[in-house]
Structure formats: C-alpha cells, structure tokens
C-alpha cells in the first residue's frame, strides 16, 4: 500500500525524533501544526465535554431538586398516611363508642315504648275513672235536684193545706152569707106579699123602697166579698229544679 509522501516523511521523522536523531525544521513545523491542530481539537472536545458536563450538572441539579421534591412529597405522604392511620384509629374508637351509645339508645327506646304502653293503659284507666266520676257527679246533681223538688213539693203541700183551710173558712162565710141572704129574701117576699094590696095605689113609694132594699143587699154583698181578703199565694214552680229542666239548662 503506497502512502502519501508527506505522511511517509512524517512517520520517518517521528521515528528519527524518537531515536534522538536530528529533525528538519519543516518536520518540526509540521509537528507544531499537527500539535496545534490536536490542541484545537482537544480544546473543542474539552468545550464540548464542558458543555456536556454543565448540562449533566444541570440535569443532576434538576434530578436533585426533583428528588428533594419527591422526598418532601414522600415525607408528606408518609406524614399524611400516619395522620390518616391516627384518624382511622380515632374514628374506629369513636365508631365503637357510637355503637355502644346506639345500643344504649335502643334499650332506652324500648324502655320508653314500654313506659308509653303503661302510660296509655293508665290513661285509659284514668279516662274510665273520669267517666265514672262524671256519671257519679251527674247522679249527685240529679239527686240534689230531686231533693230540691221534694222540698218544693213539701212547701207547696203546706201552702195547699193552708189554702184549703182558707177556702174552707171562705166557704163557711159564703154559706152563712147565702143563708142570711135567703132569709132576707124570704122576708122581703113576705113583706111584698103583705104590702101588695094596700100599697097598689102607691107604686112609686114601693118601687123606691124595693130599689133601696136591692141596693142595700147588693151593697151588703159587696161589703162581705170585699171584706174576705184571699190570703192565697202562688205555688212554687217545680220545673225549674226538675232533672229535665236542668238538662235543658245545661244544653
């Protein structure tokens, strides 16, 4: 394989330089240019590597920040989980207390229902007693009304007896007055019969005396009847105190 002349010269002079043999200036210049070129390439690689290193550092910093954030989030999650565990335990204890209270409330409710049933029975008994008391009160009121009616009947009976006595006395007086009037009438008729013939010529005088006698008789009757004052009084009314009237009054 044939190499270019410059490459062949460069290799040959490099071998000579390594052996300590003198090298031409041209070769040195070429080596200088080559080393300069290598330095530029190395510098470019250094810059490239520096850029890559900076980018890697940025990524590392970003990863560190993300890791810190993740660690903080994880720590917060752990704390939240621990808080949730504590809250769950508290809720479990509270649920147990509520279950016990619910059981107690159920027992109290059963006792209250039993008490309500007992109160309902007592209420029915009280209603029955009240109805009995009301009927007893009505009977007592009716008995009292009957007692009042009895008293009024007794008073009316006494008044009726007094009125019978008064009527009996009045009847006796009327009979005596009637007998007196009958006797007086007979005397007047006998007197008229004896005076008819001699006094036929004097009709005016007989008529006048007859009118006087009739007026005296009528006056006597009026005086006798007016003199006998009736002591009768009205009887007491019973319907005001009777049971029917009290019921109507209540209505």
Domain presence at residue 126: no
pLDDT at 96 over 80: yes
Range of the domain at 164: 133-190
The answer on 102 and 37 residing in a single domain is yes
Q: What is the mean pLDDT of residues 123-140?
A: 82
In a domain, 210, yes or no: no
Could you tell me which residue, 71 or 230, shows the higher pLDDT?
71
- pTM of the prediction? 0.30
Provide the pLDDT confidence category of residue 213 given band limits of 50, 70 and 90: very low
Q: Tell me whether residue 112 is in a domain.
A: yes
- Residue with structure tokens 């009887």? 235
Listing DSSP states for 80-130 in one string gives: HHHHHHHHHHHHHHHHHHHHHHHHHHHHHHHHHHHHHHHHHHHHHHHHHHH
Q: Among residues 176, 180, 185, which one has the least CA distance to residue 213?
A: 185
On whether both 85 and 138 belong to a single domain, the answer is: no
What's the token pair of residue 222?
Answer: 């009026």
| Dihedral of alpha carbons 210, 216, 219, 224, sign | negative
Structure-model confidence comparison of residues 196 and 148, the more confident one: 148
One domain, residues 13 and 103: yes
What is the token pair recorded at 208?
A: 């006048």
């Amino acid at each position: 394989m044939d190499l270019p002349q410059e490459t062949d010269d460069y290799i040959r002079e490099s071998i000579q330089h390594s052996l300590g043999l003198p090298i031409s200036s041209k070769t040195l210049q070429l080596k200088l240019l080559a080393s300069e070129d290598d330095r530029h390439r190395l510098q470019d690689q250094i810059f490239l590597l520096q850029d890559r290193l900076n980018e890697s550092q940025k990524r590392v910093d970003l990863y560190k920040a993300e890791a810190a954030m993740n660690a903080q989030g994880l720590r917060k999650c752990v704390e939240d989980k621990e808080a949730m565990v504590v809250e769950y335990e508290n809720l479990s204890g509270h649920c147990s207390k509520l279950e016990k209270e619910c059981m107690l409330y159920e027992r109290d409710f059963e006792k209250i229902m039993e008490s309500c049933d007992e109160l309902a029975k007592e209420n029915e008994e009280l209603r029955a007693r009240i109805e009995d008391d009301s009927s007893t009160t009505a009977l007592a009121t009716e008995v009292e009304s009957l007692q009042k009616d009895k008293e009024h009947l007794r008073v009316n009976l006494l008044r009726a007896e007094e009125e019978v006595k008064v009527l009996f006395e009045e009847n006796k007086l009327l009979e005596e007055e009637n007998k007196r009037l009958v006797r007086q009438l007979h005397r007047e008729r006998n007197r008229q019969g004896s005076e008819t013939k001699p006094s036929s010529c004097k009709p005016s005088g007989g008529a006048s005396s007859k009118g006087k006698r009739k007026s005296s008789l009528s006056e006597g009757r009026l005086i006798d009847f007016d003199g006998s004052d009736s002591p009768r009084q009205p009887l007491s009314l019973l319907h005001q105190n009777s049971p029917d009237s009290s019921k109507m009054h209540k209505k």
